[in-house]
Amino acid sequence: MFIVLEGIDGSGTTTQLERLAAHLTRRGRRVHTTREPSQGPIGRLLREILLGGHRLPDGAGVDELAMALLFAADRRDHLTREIEPALAGGLDVISDRYLLSSLAYQAQEADRTWVAGLARDLRLPDLTILLDVPVPVAAARRRAAGRPDERYDADEIQTRVAARYRELAAQAPNAVVLEASGSIDEVTAAIARAVDPRL
């Protein structure tokens, strides 16, 4: 299976990635975990940009359309380099973010139709789980974790992204929305209940 965890920054996707992998392993399945931006060359560049790197001499960040293109390029490289080989090898793949993240985040800065066009012909997940949390809860989690501010962390941006995520999940095949503001264990259990019937 190809399973994707989606949600705004601080929704718990990174925490739940390894927990879901452990759950599947206990069920006797072989699992590969990954994330986007990926660990490939384009993904590493994106992480540097998200943390404020590669600014122009006047202090401006990377252009919005360039960001959307970089995310699209990273996703295609991620599929070829990591996701497809793992699936072909009989492993379940769980990714912390994938297609919906671009459609939610990059569409805040670029035309939605154009961003969606960059994702044509991509492999779709067998299951997408949207971890839906209120923006203040997610912001408090990021602060508690001591995470540095990134490009899209402002509350007003996160509010728009959260709303867009809900729209996208309602339209996406094989998508489940889980209320994820509870404890880590409660969210882990809810994810397991969403995944197990599909195994």
Helix axes 41-50, 64-78, angle to 10 degrees: 140
Query: What integer pLDDT is reported at residue 151 of this predicted model?
Result: 67
Quote the CA–CA distance of 86 and 188 in Å, as a whole number: 24
Output the CA angle 184-187-190, nearest 5 degrees: 150
pLDDT tens per residue, range 112-127: 899 999 988 899 999 9
Instruction: Retrieve residue 121's tokens.
Output: 């012909």
Domain ranges of the chain: 2-36+91-198
Which residue numbers in the chain have pLDDT < 70?
A: 148, 151
Q: What is the pLDDT of residue 38?
A: 96
pTM, 2 dp: 0.92
Class of domain 2-36+91-198: alpha beta
Cα-trace Rg, the chain: 16
Q: What is the rounded CA–CA span in Å between residue 2 and residue 83?
A: 8
Handedness of CA 6, 68, 172, 168 (dihedral sign): positive
- pLDDT tens digits, 17-58: 999 999 999 999 999 999 999 999 999 999 999 888 888 788
